[in-house]
Structure 1
Amino acid sequence: MKQDIDAASIDRIKKFVLDKTGILLNEQKINMVLQKLNRQINEGKLKDLNHFYYNLTTNEKVFQEFINFLTVNETYFFREFEQLKAFAEVILPEVVEFKRKRGENRIKIWVAGCATGDEAYTISIILNEFLEEDINVEIFASDIDTEALKIAETGIYELRNVRFVHHQYLNVYFDITKDGKFKVRDEIRRNVKFIYHNLVDFSKYFIFSKSDFIFCRNVLIYFGDEQRKKVIDRMYEILNCGGYLFLGHSESVGRLSDKFCVRRINDYFFYYKECDCGW
């Protein structure tokens, strides 16, 4: 009987997390969670899984600590370099030229699921390298993991995070701290604003409206299909005309949305919002 009750409790935990955050707890995640919870039960910190479910759904601190535990923050500077190269050398100049013709000189970017900020600062470096000074830049970077956001705000990283940064960029855009870490310089940090945001909280998407680029790479792979589709649809709505959505190399909007136009550059697919003007 206890096994049935535990299975029911696990299902309730999975459903609550999926509905609240979009994150789908697969078998590997569930095993990881159970190891942690069983340890707490053995230590007398929890009575059982029902007790945890009650705490999870009624205590915001317990919920946030659990989400921080669940989220995957495997990231580093200049991840998926070839995609970023196509962005910097092909797509970015095209969008800037298009906006100039419309009398606009502002680029707005949303990095969704930014983790510890490596990707957001990478994009800031790229913009600093490739944009002319008269272009105004706004980069919003959001995540649901509060601990990851704390690291992002400091802009201080271990060697493993910057292992693929070209030595020239390391010298120009980073300072080495006394304990041998790498701190992003202020000229790159000041373009990035970090925000706590749950991707399925659609009431907050107005913050990111009129974005020219949305980077949501290797984030939605952890979501359920229904939640993934809703996020993709909302991202389409807030993109500017001619704006681009960037996903991870193994991701696609194919079966989730037919609204985006698709463009291939080398081995990467890029998704953009077509304009009435034919852009």
Structure 2
Amino acid sequence: MAGFLTDSEFDQYKKLIYDASGITFSASNRSILESRLRERLKSANLDSPAEYYRLLTSSHDELKTLLDSVTTNLTRFFRNTAHIQTFEYYVIPELIKQKQASGNKTIKLWSAGCSTGEEPYTLAMVLKETLPADFTIQIVASDISLKSLMIGKEGFYGHNKMAGVPQNYLSKYFDEKPDGFQVKGFLKDNIRFDYHNLKHDSGLRGLDVVFCRNVLIYFDAPAQKSVIDRFWECMAPKSFLFIGHSESLFGMDTQFEFLKTDWACIYQKKT
């Protein structure tokens, strides 16, 4: 169906989505937006993009559903080995030293854009394996996709999702079922799944680590800077920021410092 949106309608939708979420659509990914809109029109039993636009501007729930549909939820356990190694072999030892010196033995972490939950569960397992027994773990896992969050909260994954999970982790942190693996309750207890739009302040403070990987690519430069500035406000002194391997803060006016480890490059809040 060529010409599903007129150029003016595309501009309208592009602005609505950007203002609501910071997600940017351009000519190169216009087809993705049009495909998602066709699906939503069919679900809403509407005939035209103009009718659906009127629905979006009057229904916050429908707008959230559209934002859910235009995000891509690609993830897996132990994604980007270099990042996981940096977390395990550099960041966690640094945090242990800090926390033992201060007497505050709680590590607070945010998985922002957590998709279906593989990332926060990976981080929780690594923390469980490496932290001293008297440490406490608090992980907030957020996403703009309610559908993805429900999968993460349930913590059940088919056999095809378990590639990359070490065998000893599988037996320790999952119960095997006939059609997949269920995350054990004691691991789930460390993670709170929560809907959050990165365009807004999360209300979180004192975070030791923020993972926000392969999310900034959906934003233009001003929206990226706003997100990064909000991360700064959320994070504790001497905390660590992980972004996607294809993402960078280079050229951005930010107070985060570039940190090169033996495994990967990340960012640190040093003040």
> What SS class does the counterpart of residue 169 from structure 1 fall into?
helix
Aligned equivalent of 2:169: 169
Aligned to 1:31: 31
Q: Show structure 2 runs of 5+ residues with no match.
A: none
Counterparts of 1:217 and 1:44, CA distance in 2: 32
What is the rounded CA distance, in whole Å, between the counterparts of 1:7 and 1:125 in structure 2? Answer: 48
Q: Identity of aligned pairs, percent?
A: 32
SS in 2 for 1:79: coil
Shift in Å at residue 40 of structure 1? Answer: 6.9
The 1:77/1:15 distance shift into structure 2, 3 A limit, reads same
**Structure 1 unaligned regions, length at least 5:** none
**CA offset at residue 251 of structure 1?**
1.0
Aligned partners of 2:175 and 2:81: how far apart in 1?
22
Alignment-derived partner of residue 220 in structure 1 = 216
Q: Please tell me the root mean square deviation across aligned C-alpha atoms, in Å.
A: 2.1
Name the counterpart of 1:189.
188
**Structure 1 Cα separation of the partners of residues 22 and 44 of structure 2:** 31
TM-score normalised by structure 2 residue count:
0.93
Please give the alpha-carbon distance, in whole angstroms, between the structure 2 residues aligned to 1:76 and 1:116: 9
Q: How does 1:84-233 map to 2 (within 5 A)?
A: 84-178=84-178, 180-202=179-201, 205-206=202-203, 208-233=204-229
TM (norm. structure 1) is 0.90
State the one-letter code of the partner of 1:234: R
Contact 2:86 2:263 in 1 (8 A): no
Q: Distance in 2 between matches of 1:44 and 1:211?
A: 40
Aligned partner of residue 209 in structure 1, secondary structure: coil
Residues 38 and 137 (structure 1), Cα distance of their counterparts in 2 relative to 1, 3 Å cut = closer
Cα distance in 2, alignment partners of residues 232 and 214 from structure 1: 11
Which amino acid counterpart does residue 50 of structure 1 have in structure 2?
A
Matches of 1:113 and 1:11, distance apart in 2? 26
Contact 1:6 1:49 survives alignment (8 Å): no
Which of residues 239, 242, 245 is equivalent to 2:238?
242
Deviation at 1:42, TM superposition (A): 8.4
> For the residues of structure 1 that align with 2:255 and 2:159, how far apart are their CA atoms?
40
Deviation >6 Å, runs of 4+: 39-44
**41 and 148 in structure 1: CA distance in 2 versus 1, 3 angstrom threshold:** closer
Contact 1:261–1:272 under 8 Å retained in 2: yes
SS of the equivalent of 1:11 reads helix
Moved more, 183-192 or 40-49: 40-49
Write the distance in 2 (CA, Å) between the matches of 1:267 and 1:23. Answer: 30
1:198-247 deviation digits (Å, cap 9, x = unpaired): 11012xx22x2110000001111111211111000110122100000111
> How far did residue 258 of structure 1 move?
3.1
SS at match of 2:6: helix
Task: Return 151-160 or 22-31, whichever deviates more.
Answer: 22-31
- Matched with 1:265 is 261
C-alpha spacing 1:56/1:41, structure 2 compared with 1 (3 Å)? closer
| Structure 2 SS opposite 1:116 | coil
Deviation at residue 255 of structure 1 after TM alignment: 2.1
